[in-house]
């Protein structure tokens, strides 16, 4: 799936199409913020040559940030980070076993020199928001949209008090 209308600044890649139900949250929040994405499956294990080619070419392809999600032996984010100097945000995808702890540790425990900014298990929405924050460093309009997003979230949080059930009568 590709947004071919403009060079997308964010690549959202994942090890398998089975990751998409989690990874779609990154695509959605970036769309809410007016940021185009290019989405593709690139597997560190099933298509390693494609993964390396993608990482090596990512900057020249016009991407500014890569969001990479994978589950289990989740090597994709780290391997991409080893092939590019673009910022890579890793999303640990929880699989049926081990509750995503395997994915989390596979992504977060990178060696010195090869950083991956890792979000919480299955929290692709935060990966999208972090990518937007990085892009906003050079995009004042996006920074304004992020601020509006932050204020709306605060308002929604305050309004949540009104939805709490009252205390029982004493
Ligand atoms: C990982 O293996 C993928 O990122 C996915 O989370 C996991 C399982 O992939 P499938 O067997 O569902 O294709 O590489």
Domains of the chain, earliest start first: 10-163 (3.40.50.1970)
Tens digits of per-residue pLDDT, 125-155?
A: 999 999 999 999 999 999 999 999 999 999 9
> Which strands form 65-71's sheet, in the order they lie side by side?
37-41, 10-14, 65-71, 88-93, 117-118
Average pLDDT over residues 107-134: 98
Percent of the chain with pLDDT over 90: 91
Residue 6 has pLDDT above 90, yes or no: no
Residue 160 has pLDDT above 70, yes or no: yes
Average pLDDT over residues 66-90: 98
> What distance in angstroms lies between residue 81's CA and the mean position of ligand 1's atoms?
19
CA–CA gap between residue 97 and residue 166 (Å, rounded): 39
pTM of this structure:
0.93
> What distance in angstroms lies between residue 71's CA and the mean position of ligand 1's atoms?
6
Q: What residues line ligand 1, using a CB cutoff of 6 Å?
A: 14-16, 18-19, 43, 45, 70-72, 93, 95
The ligand 1 atom at the shortest distance from the C-alpha of residue 71 is: 6
**Which residue has the least CA distance to atom 6 on ligand 1?**
71
Residue 1 has pLDDT above 70, yes or no: no
- Tell me the C-alpha to C-alpha distance, in Å, between residue 45 and each of 4, 23, 25, 154: 27, 19, 24, 41
Residue 5 has pLDDT above 70, yes or no: no
> What distance in angstroms lies between residue 100's CA and the mean position of ligand 1's atoms?
12
């Amino acid at each position: 799936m590709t947004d071919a209308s403009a060079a997308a600044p964010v690549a959202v890649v994942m090890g398998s199409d089975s990751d998409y139900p989690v990874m779609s949250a990154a695509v959605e929040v970036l769309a809410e913020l007016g940021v185009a994405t290019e989405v593709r499956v690139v597997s560190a294990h099933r298509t390693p040559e494609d993964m390396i080619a993608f990482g090596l070419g990512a900057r020249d392809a016009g991407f500014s940030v890569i969001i990479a999600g994978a589950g289990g032996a989740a090597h994709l984010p780290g391997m991409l980070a080893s092939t590019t100097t673009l910022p890579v945000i890793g999303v640990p995808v929880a699989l049926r076993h081990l509750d995503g702890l395997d994915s989390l540790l596979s992504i977060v425990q990178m060696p010195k020199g090869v950083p991956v900014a890792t979000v919480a298990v299955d929290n692709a929405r935060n990966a999208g928001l972090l990518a937007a924050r990085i892009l906003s460093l050079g995009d004042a309009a996006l920074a304004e949209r992020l601020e509006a997003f932050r204020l709306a979230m605060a308002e929604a949080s305050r309004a949540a008090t009104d939805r709490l059930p009252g205390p029982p009568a004493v």
